[in-house]
């Protein structure tokens, strides 16, 4: 214990870390009725950190050139010790992040946490969701498999539905008329540096918004208070709350452990879950594999495009829906946060989830 | 775009898509003309459509020569038309593409007996309705048309064993492929051995077939060894993975217990 | 489950267990990263394959394994050596060298290749891949 105490004192005298510790960790009080859904933020931060670490490791062997990319991934998976493990952690991790993001968003919607002057938190969060999907899309191309190549071709084609600038936009995204080496180059740069930097910035902004405004209490139980729209800034405090550290911190740690166990279970017991056969064939620009379809989190968009006879309408519907979600705090302005007292919202919420699941399943089988 | 146009477009596409690729070869004048004739002149058309050759885009002119685009010159020797082969010309006819098989066949008993009516390609495989070769082509009913079945039965026995091994191995390699393993080299060897195996039978020499299948099985055993090694590695990975999963679940549970302890203290 | 152990005592015990678990998980995580980053012993795709010159007689072809795939080296003219992939570009069978005809023939569907690997006839869509051959004394270095 002595050397640690000595070290802490050494730093504290110079930087006052004990004061920060007492104020931000031990003194940071959370509402008593905080529930397990509140851990998802920490889970996501842990998962993103894992993505960065595994991503850096993969970067040491991956070659971002169309002639060599597939072989480099094969090299990692077959020859580099534990290469298979880091590749799987990265690929499965991406899918688990999307699952956790959707759960996080669903719980925020259900508890109306975007109300009470928390619009910026919602906006930064929604942008993070979209950026993550962009990271998934750009990352998908890098192994340069049949799946990579054709999923990217289909996804970038969608931009062609935009009138006037559509075709130019598709070429701009791809860096050329077709998906080729120049597409790989720009997707690689975006995936490895561009988007992660923006993501880190957004996460920082998101956390700042949460802490600055103060964490909201869950809208359940006798202590519920409707959110007020005060004409001045208010930092929400919970003087009789529980300390974040160590009391809620251990709950965060528990759920993070379970999520990692879940991820490892997929890797060791269902490794083929997110890898269809076309993921193992090197890209062939002249041969489209049958039944090519995007990853599960894009199936809704894919199927929506197919439902509507006109591509531009299909695209428009998706844009409209996403815009509606993004602006939700400005549309739903009621102070009521209890789900039991928001029947219209909860009905739309449940129907929305069912519709998302149904369209995704349809997209998978069509 | 109007609804009616969309729907009719969809229907037409569906119809077009349901036509098998082979009918794209309807372009050849051979099929156009012979399909309209009768009796033995038109029978080959329907037979060929069911064949493995048709599936792979091999059409009339690929075997018989001639010009598939010009009705007038379709059967002209100047355009390479060689007509239908006589009984004894069949092995060379098929052997223009199936070189290895023809070589084995001619060196074997059937090939040497061809002048006396020994079996040639068409007798077992048919001429136009050729299907992908299977062991069922060797059966008592067909082989006893000319001689007793014992030798054929022995050959089939040794072939069945190897055939099963090959199928199993193809299945194993496919499984490993789906897990991301680089199985190119093994698959190449397997492909090669399968071809050697299929060719050797045509010499219909029991001893030679036995010897060759022995060699093939030895090579297959090497591949099987590699597959077993990989499976062992996979088993080890799963074991360690399960241990680590257990550790994480345990950690989660302990964190929850700690949380409970804090709650009891009033935190 | 009633115990007489107070919460702080329980916590201490649990923390010790966590410490142990943390060490185990830490080791289980650090080991793969260490092995991943450690240099792999050299050898493999970069190496040249050596064939003895005496194995390749004039007019004859010698088959060997080149980085896991079948290859062939031949001596079409005295002192001249050519190394090619022996995998037919049609459907992947291994080609055979025909000494009399001075060409490669594929036993599967009759594809024919010249001694330089050019397609002479049959279904193959592309020539056989060539490899660089270097004559070094009585050894042929291929690759």
DSSP assignment, residue A23? I
- Given an 8 Å threshold on Cβ–Cβ distance, is C44 in contact with A79? yes
Q: What is the CA B36 to chain-centroid distance, rounded?
A: 32
Name C118's Cβ contacts closer than 8 Å, sequence gap at least 6. C127
From its phi and psi, is residue A171 left (phi > 0), alpha (psi between -120 and 50) or beta?
A: alpha
Residue B56 is assigned to a structural domain of this protein: no
Token code pair at residue A16: 């006052």
> DSSP 3-state assignment of C94?
strand
- Is the CB of A85 inside 8 Å of chain C's CB atoms? yes
Q: Quick: pLDDT tens for A335-353.
A: 999 999 999 999 999 999 9
Architecture of the domain spanning C49-142: 3-layer Sandwich (2.102)
Tell me the average pLDDT of chain A: 93
Give the C-alpha separation, B241 to A260, whole Å: 12
Query: Is pLDDT larger for residue C68 or for residue A362?
Result: A362
Q: Which pLDDT score, from 0 to 100, does residue B7 have?
A: 58
> DSSP 3-state assignment of C21?
helix
In this complex, the residue of B241, B258, B259 whose CB is nearest that of residue A264 is B241
Give the C-alpha separation, B63 to B121, whole Å: 14
Query: Is pLDDT larger for residue A229 or for residue B254?
Result: B254
Give the C-alpha separation, A110 to C125, whole Å: 61
ipTM of the complex as predicted: 0.91
For the residues C101-119, what does the mean pLDDT come to? Answer: 92
Q: Which pLDDT score, from 0 to 100, does residue B225 have?
A: 94
Torsion over CA: B13, A152, A278, A88 (sign): negative
Q: Quick: pLDDT tens for C21-46.
A: 999 999 999 999 999 999 876 555 56
Residue B11 is assigned to a structural domain of this protein: no
C19 neighbourhood in chain B, CB within 8 Å: none
Give the C-alpha separation, A292 to A271, whole Å: 20
Q: Which pLDDT score, from 0 to 100, does residue B11 have?
A: 52
Closest-approach residue (CA) in chain A for B239: A268
Tell me the average pLDDT of chain B: 85
For the residues B102-124, what does the mean pLDDT come to? Answer: 89
* Radius of gyration for chain A, computed over Cα atoms and rounded to the nearest angstrom: 23
For the residues A8-27, what does the mean pLDDT come to? Answer: 94
- Given an 8 Å threshold on Cβ–Cβ distance, is C40 in contact with A81? yes
Residue B26 is assigned to a structural domain of this protein: no
Alpha helices, H only, chain B: 3-18, 29-34, 43-49, 52-55, 60-64, 90-95, 99-107, 109-112, 121-125, 140-143, 150-177, 184-200, 206-264
> Residue A182: which of A193, A191, A172 has the closest Cα?
A172
**Contacting partners of chain C (3+ CB pairs under 8 A):** A, B
Residues in chain A, how many? 366
Please report how many Cα atoms fall inside a 13 Å half-sphere around the Cα of residue A167, on the Cβ side.
Answer: 2
Q: Quick: pLDDT tens for A160-171.
A: 888 889 999 999
Give the C-alpha separation, A134 to A173, whole Å: 12
> Residue B51: which of B129, B118, B122 has the closest Cα?
B129
Residues A199 and A135: beta-carbon distance below 8 Å: yes
Tell me the average pLDDT of chain C: 87
Q: Quick: pLDDT tens for A117-136.
A: 999 999 999 999 999 999 99
Highest mean pLDDT: which range of A37-46, A159-168, A306-315, B113-122: A37-46
How many separate domains does chain B show? 1
Q: What is the CA B162 to chain-centroid distance, rounded?
A: 15
Q: Quick: pLDDT tens for A77-117.
A: 999 999 999 999 999 999 999 999 999 999 999 999 999 89
Q: Which pLDDT score, from 0 to 100, does residue A85 have?
A: 97
Confidence of residue B161 (pLDDT cuts 50, 70, 90): confident
B256 neighbourhood in chain A, CB within 8 Å: 250-251, 254
Give the C-alpha separation, A141 to A191, whole Å: 10
Give the C-alpha separation, A278 to A315, whole Å: 26
Domain carrying residue B170: 148-240
Give the C-alpha separation, A357 to B10, whole Å: 26
Each domain of chain C, given as residue ranges in start order, spans 1-38, 49-142
Give the C-alpha separation, A154 to A147, whole Å: 10
Q: Quick: pLDDT tens for A232-287.
A: 999 999 998 999 989 899 999 999 999 999 999 999 999 999 998 899 999 999 88
- Cβ count within 10 A of residue C32: 18
Each domain of chain A, given as residue ranges in start order, spans 32-219+237-288
In this complex, the residue of B99, B184, B244 whose CB is nearest that of residue C28 is B244
Q: Which pLDDT score, from 0 to 100, does residue C1 have?
A: 54
Provide the percentage of residues in chain B whose pLDDT is more than 90: 29
pLDDT at B6 over 60: no
Confidence of residue A191 (pLDDT cuts 50, 70, 90): very high
Q: Which pLDDT score, from 0 to 100, does residue C137 have?
A: 85
Q: Which pLDDT score, from 0 to 100, does residue B199 have?
A: 86
pLDDT at B244 over 50: yes
The partner residues of C3 in beta bridges, in order of sequence, read none
Confidence of residue B17 (pLDDT cuts 50, 70, 90): very low
A60 neighbourhood in chain C, CB within 8 Å: 37
pLDDT at C20 over 50: yes
Give the C-alpha separation, C59 to A98, whole Å: 63
Q: Which pLDDT score, from 0 to 100, does residue B15 have?
A: 45
pLDDT at C10 over 60: yes
Token code pair at residue A256: 């993070």
Give the C-alpha separation, A218 to A32, whole Å: 9
Name A74's Cβ contacts closer than 8 Å, sequence gap at least 6. B180, B182
Give the C-alpha separation, A7 to A328, whole Å: 48
**Candidate CATH numbers 3.30.390.30, 1.20.810.10, 3.40.710.10, 3.40.190.10; the one for domain A32-219+237-288:** 1.20.810.10
Q: Which pLDDT score, from 0 to 100, does residue B201 have?
A: 83
For the residues B163-184, what does the mean pLDDT come to? Answer: 91
Distance from the first to the final alpha carbon of chain C: 72
Residue B142 is assigned to a structural domain of this protein: no
For the residues C113-136, what does the mean pLDDT come to? Answer: 92
- Is the CB of A83 inside 8 Å of chain C's CB atoms? yes
In total, the C-beta contacts within 8 angstroms joining chain B to chain C are 72
Residue burial B88-100, b: 16+ Cβ < 10 Å; e: rest: eebbebbbbbbbb
> DSSP 3-state assignment of C106?
coil
Residues C1 and B261: beta-carbon distance below 8 Å: no
**Optimal mutation site among A89, A258, A306, interface B, most CBs of chain B within 10 A:** A258
* Kind and range of the H or E run holding A245: none
Q: What is the CA B248 to chain-centroid distance, rounded?
A: 47
Name C3's Cβ contacts closer than 8 Å, sequence gap at least 6. C10
| pTM attached to this predicted model | 0.79
pLDDT at B239 over 50: yes
Residue B103 is assigned to a structural domain of this protein: no
Give the C-alpha separation, A115 to A218, whole Å: 12
Residues C143 and C131: beta-carbon distance below 8 Å: yes
Give the C-alpha separation, A156 to A294, whole Å: 12
**Optimal mutation site among C1, C3, C6, C7, interface B, most CBs of chain B within 10 A:** C7
* Burial zone of A256 (CB within 10 Å; 0-12 exposed, 13-18 middle, 19+ buried): buried
Query: Is pLDDT larger for residue B223 or for residue C8?
Result: B223
Give the C-alpha separation, B2 to B21, whole Å: 30
Give the C-alpha separation, A20 to A23, whole Å: 5
């Amino acid at each position: 214990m002595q050397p640690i105490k000595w070290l802490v004192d050494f730093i504290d005298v110079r930087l006052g870390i004990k004061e920060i510790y007492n104020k931000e960790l031990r003194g940071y009080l959370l509402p008593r009725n905080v529930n397990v859904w509140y851990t998802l933020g920490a889970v996501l931060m842990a998962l993103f950190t894992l993505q960065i670490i595994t991503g850096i490791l993969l970067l040491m062997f991956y070659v971002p050139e169309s002639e060599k990319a597939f072989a480099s991934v094969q090299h990692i998976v077959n020859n580099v010790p534990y290469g298979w493990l880091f590749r799987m952690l990265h690929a499965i991790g991406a899918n688990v992040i999307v699952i956790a993001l959707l759960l996080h968003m669903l719980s925020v919607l259900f508890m109306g946490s975007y109300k009470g002057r928390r619009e910026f938190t919602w906006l930064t969060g929604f942008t993070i969701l979209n950026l993550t999907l962009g990271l998934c899309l750009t990352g998908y191309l890098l192994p340069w498999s049949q799946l990579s190549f054709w999923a990217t071709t289909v996804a970038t084609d969608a931009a062609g539905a935009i009138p006037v600038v559509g075709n130019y936009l598709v070429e701009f995204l791809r860096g050329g008329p077709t998906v080729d080496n120049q597409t790989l180059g720009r997707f690689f740069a975006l995936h490895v540096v561009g988007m992660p930097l923006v993501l880190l910035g957004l996460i920082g902004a998101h956390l700042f918004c949460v802490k600055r405004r103060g964490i909201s209490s869950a809208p359940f139980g006798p202590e519920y208070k409707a959110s007020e729209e005060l004409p001045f800034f208010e930092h929400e405090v919970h003087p009789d709350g529980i300390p974040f550290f160590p009391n809620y911190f251990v709950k965060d740690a528990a759920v993070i452990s379970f999520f990692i166990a879940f991820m490892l279970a997929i890797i060791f017991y269902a490794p083929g879950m997110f890898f269809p056969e076309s993921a193992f064939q090197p890209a062939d620009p002249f041969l489209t594999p049958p039944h090519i379809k995007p990853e599960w989190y894009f199936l809704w968009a894919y199927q929506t495009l197919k439902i509507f006879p006109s591509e531009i309408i299909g695209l428009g519907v998706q844009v409209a829906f996403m815009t509606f979600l993004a602006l939700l705090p400005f549309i739903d302005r009621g102070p009521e946060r209890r789900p039991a007292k928001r029947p219209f919202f909860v009905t739309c919420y449940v129907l929305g989830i069912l519709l998302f699941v149904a369209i995704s399943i349809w997209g998978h089988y069509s | 775009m109007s609804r009616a146009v969309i729907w009719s477009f969809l229907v037409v596409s569906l119809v077009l898509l349901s036509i098998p690729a082979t009918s794209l070869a309807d372009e050849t004048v051979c099929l156009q003309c012979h399909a309209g004739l009768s009796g033995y002149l038109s029978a080959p058309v329907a037979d060929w459509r069911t064949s493995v050759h048709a599936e792979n885009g091999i059409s009339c002119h690929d075997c018989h020569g001639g010009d598939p685009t010009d009705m007038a010159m379709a059967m002209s020797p100047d355009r390479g038309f060689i007509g239908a082969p006589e009984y004894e010309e069949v092995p060379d006819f098929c052997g223009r593409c199936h070189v290895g098989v023809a070589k084995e066949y001619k060196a074997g008993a059937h090939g040497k007996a061809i002048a006396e009516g020994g079996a040639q390609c068409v007798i077992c495989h048919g001429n136009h309705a050729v299907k992908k070769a299977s062991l069922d082509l060797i059966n008592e009913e067909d082989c006893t048309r000319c001689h007793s079945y014992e030798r054929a039965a022995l050959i089939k026995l040794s072939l069945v064993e190897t055939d099963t091994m090959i199928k199993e191995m193809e299945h194993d390699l496919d499984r490993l492929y789906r897990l991301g393993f680089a199985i190119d080299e093994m698959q190449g060897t397997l492909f090669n051995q399968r071809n050697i195996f299929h060719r050797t039978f045509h010499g219909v020499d029991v001893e030679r077939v036995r010897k060759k299948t022995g060699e093939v099985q030895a090579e297959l055993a090497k591949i099987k060894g590699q597959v077993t090694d990989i499976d062992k590695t996979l088993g080890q990975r799963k074991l360690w993975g399960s241990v680590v999963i257990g550790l994480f679940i345990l950690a989660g549970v302990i964190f929850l217990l700690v949380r409970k302890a804090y709650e009891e203290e009033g935190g | 489950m009633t115990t007489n152990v107070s919460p702080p005592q329980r916590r201490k015990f649990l923390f010790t267990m966590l410490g142990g678990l943390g060490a185990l998980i830490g080791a289980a995580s650090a080991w793969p990263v260490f092995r991943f980053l450690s240099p792999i012993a050299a050898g493999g795709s970069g190496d040249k394959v050596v064939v003895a010159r005496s194995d390749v007689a004039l007019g004859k072809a010698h088959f060997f394994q080149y980085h896991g795939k079948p290859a062939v080296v031949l001596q079409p003219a005295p002192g001249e050596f050519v190394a090619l992939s022996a995998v037919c570009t049609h459907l992947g069978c291994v080609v055979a060298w025909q000494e009399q005809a001075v060409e490669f023939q594929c036993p599967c569907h009759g594809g024919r290749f010249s001694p330089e690997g050019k397609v002479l006839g049959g279904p193959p869509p592309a020539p056989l891949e060539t490899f660089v051959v270097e004559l070094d004394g009585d050894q042929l270095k291929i690759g």
